[in-house]
Amino acid sequence: MSLELLVASAIAVLVAAGLYLALRGRTFQLVLGLTLVSYAVNLFLFATGRLVVERPPLWAKGVTDHADPLPQALVLTAIVISFAMTALTVILSLRGFLEIGSDQVDGLAEPGEGA
């Protein structure tokens, strides 16, 4: 089994699990789903930088084949942005829970909950 197939499978599983959780009716599951999708995007960006072994990450004198540093910089930026977006989503979901008394996305309490 090749490394590319393994990475593609991991990306597919993360996206599928993230979409499943994002489509659930509770805000905590929504936050987890969006986080998993952002992990999948980060892994995809990292994989676009060619999966090579024993190659220098930057250009060096006399080396003709090197890894591309741009996807690594994009992943680092995406990690910071996704952390900020996760923090904002958690704060908004907590505020919604405190205002409404339920963590349902539509704001309606489930039949078993007393709200």
112 within domain boundaries:
no
Residue 20, Cβ neighbours under 10 Å: how many? 12
Give the amino acid at 29.
Answer: Q
Convert the pLDDT of each residue in 16-39 to its tens digit.
999 999 998 888 899 999 999 999
Number of domains in the chain: 1
77 within domain boundaries:
yes
105 within domain boundaries:
no
Domain range holding 8?
3-52+66-100
31 within domain boundaries:
yes
Would you call 42 exposed, middle or buried from its count of C-beta atoms within 10 A (0-12, 13-18, 19+)? buried
Q: Kindly state the DSSP code that residue 109 receives in the 8-state scheme.
A: P
C-alpha–C-alpha distance, residues 62 and 83, integer Å: 39
pTM (two decimals): 0.76
10 within domain boundaries:
yes
57 within domain boundaries:
no
pLDDT for residue 11 = 95
Residues in the chain: 115
Q: Kindly state the DSSP code that residue 110 receives in the 8-state scheme.
A: P
CATH code assigned at 92: 1.10.287
14 within domain boundaries:
yes
